Amino acid sequence: MFPPPYKIKAVEPIECPSQEERQDILKSAHYNTFLLPSSKVYLDFLTDSGTTAMSDFQWAGLMMGDEAYAGSLNFEHLEQCIRDIFGYRYIVPTHQGRGAEHILSQLTIRKGDIVPGNMYFTTTKIHQELAGGEFSDIIIDEAHDPSSEHPFKGNVDFKKCEALIKKHTPQKISYISHEACVNMAGGQPFSLENLRELRELTNHYKIKIYLDATRIVENAHFIKVREKGYEKYPLVSIIREICSLTDGCTMSAKKDGLVNIGGFLAMNDEELFTQAKAMVVIYEGLHTYGGLAGRDLEAMARGLYEAATDERIVAHRIQQVQEFGKSLLKADIPIVKPIGGHGVFLDAKRFLPHLSQDMFPAQTLTAEIYLECAVRAMERGIVSAGRNPKTGENYHPSLELVRLTIPRRVYTQEHLEYAAQGIGQVFQRRNKIRGLKMTFEPKQLRFFQAHFEPLR
C-alpha cells in the first residue's frame, strides 16, 4: 500500500462512548444513525458528503472570499475551473447537489414523463417525482447482484433503455439520468465504451443525457485502471471525455469536489441556462453565488482543481477503501463486489439471512455496529428506497446494504482496522441479532428521520 500524498497539519479530537452509554444514545436516536449526535460517534462512516478534510490551499482560499452580492471574483474562478475540467459552457452554482437536481428536474420533466437512469439515487429520484416524472431503472442486471464481479456495474443495459423509449415514445423521456460511480450499487463506475454507445442511442432518438457528476473523479480513476486503452490518459482528459458525451450535469461538490458545502448545475444549452438562472434566484440565491458565500465558491474551485489534477489523491483514497474491504472479506464478511469507490457496502441479506426485508436488516445492522464499536454507518436498503408514490407500497430493492463510507483524507489505516475488528465482532454474534420495526415514518426521504424500535 502506498502512503498518503499529504501530511496532517491540524487534528480534531474524537472520543468513544462506553458500551452502556451507546445503548442509551441509540435508544434516544430511535435506532436511526442519522439521529445520533456526532459527539457520540467515534468513527463517522455515515457519509463521504461534506466530510472531507480540505487542503491548506483550500483553507487559504477561504481568506480570498469576495463577498460581493453580485459578480464575485470567486464565481469567475469557479466558472473558469468548471469550463477547464468539465468542458461545459454554462454554470449555475447551487448550495449543494440537490439544489441543482431541483432546478434541472423542474425545467426538463413534464408530468407523466419517464426518467430512465442507471439506478436511482434518493435525492435525485424525489426531485424527479416532485416534478411529475417517474424514474425507471436501466442499469445492467449485474448491478443488482452484490456478488457479481463485473468491473463496470454502473453501465446501462441498452435493451432495457431502448424498450423503454419504444414503449413510452422518445417525447415522453425527459432525459437519461446517468450517475458516475453509482452510489446505491456500491460506488460502481460506468465505462466510457458504454457511455459512448448510450450517446449514439440517445442521439438517434434525440434524447438528452444529464450526468450526475458527484463522484466523477472516482469514476474516471476506475476507467483509467480498468478500461483498456486509458491507462496512460490523464484523469482530466477522461473527465472531459465523459462530459463531452453528455449534455450537462448536476454535481454535489461535497464529495469529489473536496469541499464541505457546494454544488452546481452545468450545461451547453443556452436556453436552459437562461431558465436555470431565472430559477436559481428564486430558490438558491443570485446566479453568481447560488446560496454560497464567496469563500465557499473559492474552496470549491480549488477543491475541483486539486481533485482532478493531483491524481494521487483519488488513487490513495480508493486504495484505502479497497484495503478496508479486503480486511472484511478476510473475515468472511459478505460485502458488495467489486469493492467500490467511496465506501464498503455490507450485504445485509447475507449477513443477517434470518431477518426478512420487512424487519429492516440493513437498518438493524447499522444499529448493531454502533452498539459494538461506536462506528456510524448508513442504511441503503428498503428504508432508503421508500414507497411507490402511486401505490403507497414499500419498494423492495434487490440490494439491502449497509454503507461504510470513508470521508476523504480524514481517517488513518488504524481507524479502518479498528472498524473492521468491530464489524467482525458483530458478525460473530449475528445469529442472535433481532430486527427492527418502524414507529415513525416521514412522507419523503424517510431514512433521514424515521424512528425504529427493536422487535420483541
Cell digits of residue 229: 486503452
Q: What is the DSSP letter of 395?
A: P
What 8-state DSSP symbol labels residue 335? B
User: Choosing from 121, 305, 345, 411, which is the catalytic residue?
Assistant: 121
72 contributes a contact to ligand PM9 by CB under 6 A: no
Of 51, 94, 108, 122, which residue is the catalytic one?
122
Strand partners, 335: 346
Q: Binding of ligand PM9 at residue 96 (CB under 6 A)?
A: yes
Residue in 58, 183, 188, 327 binding ligand PM9, rule: CB under 6 A: 183
Residue 373 to residues 26, 260, 370, 435, 455, Cα–Cα distance (Å): 12, 26, 6, 19, 22
Count residues contacting ligand PM9 (CB under 6 A)? 16
Among 33, 49, 55, 188, binds ligand PM9 (CB under 6 A): 49
Q: Are 61 and 54 in contact (CB under 8 A)?
A: no
Candidates 24, 56, 69, 196; catalytic one: 69
Interstrand relation of 209-212 and 248-252 (parallel, antiparallel or unpaired): parallel
283 part of the active site: no
Identify whether 212 is a catalytic site residue: yes
Q: How far is the CB of 25 from ligand PM9 (least distance, A)?
A: 20
Q: Shortest gap between Cβ of 252 and ligand PM9 (angstroms)?
A: 3
> Shortest gap between Cβ of 308 and ligand PM9 (angstroms)?
18
255 given a catalytic annotation: yes
Residue among 165 and 446 whose Cβ is closer to ligand PM9:
446
Q: How far apart are CA 103 and CA 127, in angstroms?
A: 9
Strand order in the sheet with 401-405: 343-347, 401-405, 378-380
Among 52, 55, 72, 122, binds ligand PM9 (CB under 6 A): 122
Hey, which bits of 108-150 come out as E strands? 114-117, 134-137
Catalytic, 121? Answer yes
Q: Which is nearer to ligand PM9, 55 or 183 (CB)?
A: 183
Q: Position of cell 443556452?
A: 270
Pairing between strand 375-376 and 43-44?
A: parallel
Q: Of 254 and 295, which has the nearer Cβ to ligand PM9?
A: 254
Instruction: Tell me if 229 sits within 8 A of 102, measured CB to CB.
Output: no
214 lies in the site for ligand PM9, by CB under 6 A: yes
Contact window for ligand PM9 (CB under 6 A) among 116-124, 164-172, 323-331, 332-340: 116-124
Q: Map the footprint of ligand PM9 across residues 419-448, applying CB under 6 A.
A: none
- Picking from 261, 180, 191, 248, the residue whose alpha carbon sits closest to that of residue 217 is 180
How far is C-alpha 171 from the chain's CA centre? 29
**Helices (DSSP H) in 310-435: which residue ranges?**
311-330, 348-351, 361-373, 382-385, 413-428
Q: Bin 322: left if φ > 0, else alpha if -120 < ψ < 50, else beta.
A: alpha
Between 97 and 290, whose beta carbon lies closer to ligand PM9? 97
Least Cβ distance, residue 186 to ligand PM9 (angstroms) = 12
Cell readout for 268 is 451547453
**Binding to ligand PM9 by residue 121, rule CB under 6 A?**
yes
Query: Is 380 labeled as catalytic in the residue annotation?
Result: yes
Binding status of residue 124 toward ligand PM9 by CB under 6 A: yes
Interaction of residue 51 with ligand PM9, rule CB under 6 A: no
Contact letters (x/-) for ligand PM9, 235-274, by CB under 6 A? -----------------x-x--------x-----------
- Residue from 33, 47, 108, 320 touching ligand PM9 (CB under 6 A): that is 47
* Amino acid of residue 389: P
129 binds ligand PM9 (CB under 6 A): no
Decide: helix, strand or coil at residue 396: coil
> Stretches 55-63, 107-115, 119-127, 347-355: which one binds ligand PM9 (CB under 6 A)?
119-127
Is 202 near ligand PM9 (CB under 6 A)? no
Return the exposure string of 138-172: e unless at least 16 CB atoms fall within 10 Å of the residue's CB, then b: bbbebbebbeeeeebbbbbbeebbeebbeebeeee
Residue 363 makes contact with ligand PM9 by CB under 6 A? no
Sign (positive/negative) of CA torsion 41, 45, 49, 55? positive
- CB under 8 Å to 169, separation ≥6 — which residues? none
Instruction: Confirm whether 42 is a catalytic residue.
Output: no
Q: Is position 400 an interface residue for ligand PM9 (rule: CB under 6 A)?
A: no
Regarding 212 and contact with ligand PM9 (CB under 6 A), the answer is yes
Which residues of this chain interact with ligand PM9, rule CB under 6 A? 47, 49, 96-98, 121-124, 179, 183, 212, 214, 252, 254, 263
Q: What amino acid positions are annotated as catalytic residues?
A: 69, 121-122, 212, 255, 380, 447
